[in-house]
Amino acid sequence: MLRYIGRRLLILIPTVTAITVITFVVIQLPPGDYLTTLTAQRASQGDALPTGELARLTERYGLDKPVIVQYWQWISNILFHGDFGESFDYGRPVVALLGERLPLTIGLSVATLLFIWAVSFPIGVYSAIRQYSVGDYSFTFLGYLGLAVPNFLIALVLMWIGLQFFDLSPGGILSPEYRDAPWSLAKFGDLVAHLWIPIVIWGTAGTAGNIRVLRANLLDELRKPYVVAARARGMPERKMAIMYPVRVAMNPFFSTIGWILPGLIAADAITSKVLNLPTTGPLMLRALLAQDMYLAGAILLISAVLVVVGTLISDIALGWLDPRVRLRY
């Protein structure tokens, strides 16, 4: 197992290096730069950016230097100083902006991931064992509904339900009376009462997808010869299903960490806008529209690195769960 983990860790180095290069290239692809956008905005307002100010900003951010120099300046500051640069649009360090939004985003992401697993696992197992039952058809219908309905529409419906039946203020993570109040047990309870809405919304599609995958995999396992032999020997159906087929069918739960986690971290920008959530999704959207290269690059880089880290966690979990994976190496 240690050799298997070591191989996976060695693969991370060139992968992350390539990610940094691709990320920087992507944020450089749009024509122009932040100063071009700023000049156009000032011109549309009937105001012109002074030449001296334009030259000062160009020199400060190194926008007149070759791309390779800009890349080295960007990545070296991140590696050696933990400095992601300064946001052009906000005029503040990127680390400070991410520090305001990343903790909530990570907390919601972890809670959503746990919600996805907690809901999809028992439903997927039930749907496979009780195939073509009323419950199976009901969960299948709800699963297709969760995949088909856009998150922002679910957000609007749940906001109305929260306001109508639970007296929760629509949008945000706190009620108006607690937003500027010091932390207390009542404020924490109000925060928890608001968080269930984004958790359910972001977890809907992932839960529906996991239910379908687990159901299909478990149905495939339940028809294999070793299961038929166990039934012939009189092993109870529930004990037989939990001990062997369910364990094999759980592989997709761990293998999807690599793409579920960064997807949750990036968050649905439209849904976050609808719910008025201070997450990284709206921040990323604004950075891309304003061509704020350092802020957009930081969020892209973090999301891409999370894909790699999530894939590493998936590989280690799969190696522990399924000996065939680790013995292959």
| pLDDT of 326 over the 70 cut | no
Determine how many CB atoms are found less than 10 A away from the CB of residue 167: 9
Determine how many CB atoms are found less than 10 A away from the CB of residue 30: 13
What gap in Å lies between CA 214 and CA 199, rounded to an integer? 21
pLDDT band (50, 70, 90) for residue 157? confident
- Residue 197 tokens read as 């809405």
Contact in structure between 329 and 10 (CB atoms under 8 Å): no
Mean pLDDT in residue range 152-181: 80
Residue 299, pLDDT score: 87
First vs last C-alpha separation in the chain: 9
pLDDT band (50, 70, 90) for residue 327? low
Residue 8, pLDDT score: 77
Summarised one tens digit per residue, pLDDT across range 230-266 is 888 888 877 787 777 887 788 777 777 766 666 656 5
More confident position, 31 or 116: 116
Main-chain dihedrals φ then ψ at residue 288, nearest 5 degrees: -70, -40
Contact in structure between 281 and 155 (CB atoms under 8 Å): no
Percentage of the chain exceeding pLDDT 70: 92
- For the chain, the structural domain boundaries read 31-83, 102-280
Mean pLDDT in residue range 288-310: 83
- Residue 42 tokens read as 């000032």
User: Cα torsion at 162, 167, 172, 175 (round to 10°)?
Assistant: -160
Q: Which amino acid is at 244?
A: Y
Q: 203 vs 238, 253, 281, 320, CA distance in Å? A: 28, 14, 16, 26
Strand partners, 93: 86
Please tell me the class of the 102-280 domain.
mainly alpha
- Average pLDDT taken over every residue of the chain: 81
Summarised one tens digit per residue, pLDDT across range 210-234 is 888 888 888 888 888 888 888 888 8
What gap in Å lies between CA 203 and CA 112, rounded to an integer? 5
Determine how many CB atoms are found less than 10 A away from the CB of residue 183: 9
Q: What is the DSSP letter of 176?
A: G
Q: Which of 26, 24, 104, 146 is nearest to 267 (CA)?
A: 104
Contact in structure between 9 and 312 (CB atoms under 8 Å): yes
Contact in structure between 63 and 33 (CB atoms under 8 Å): yes
- Residue 133 tokens read as 């039952």
Report helix, strand or coil for 86: strand
What gap in Å lies between CA 87 and CA 295, rounded to an integer? 6
User: Cα torsion at 179, 87, 266, 186 (round to 10°)?
Assistant: -10
- Residue 30 tokens read as 């749009």
Mean pLDDT in residue range 148-154: 84
Summarised one tens digit per residue, pLDDT across range 56-90 is 777 766 777 888 888 888 888 888 888 887 787 88
Percentage of the chain exceeding pLDDT 90: 2
Residue 264, pLDDT score: 59
More confident position, 113 or 320: 113
What gap in Å lies between CA 118 and CA 218, rounded to an integer? 17
What gap in Å lies between CA 160 and CA 169, rounded to an integer? 9
208: CB partners within 8 A, 6+ apart: 120, 142, 143, 144, 145, 146, 147
Summarised one tens digit per residue, pLDDT across range 91-148 is 788 899 999 888 888 888 888 888 988 998 899 889 888 888 898 899 888 888 888 8
User: Cα torsion at 147, 153, 158, 164 (round to 10°)?
Assistant: -150
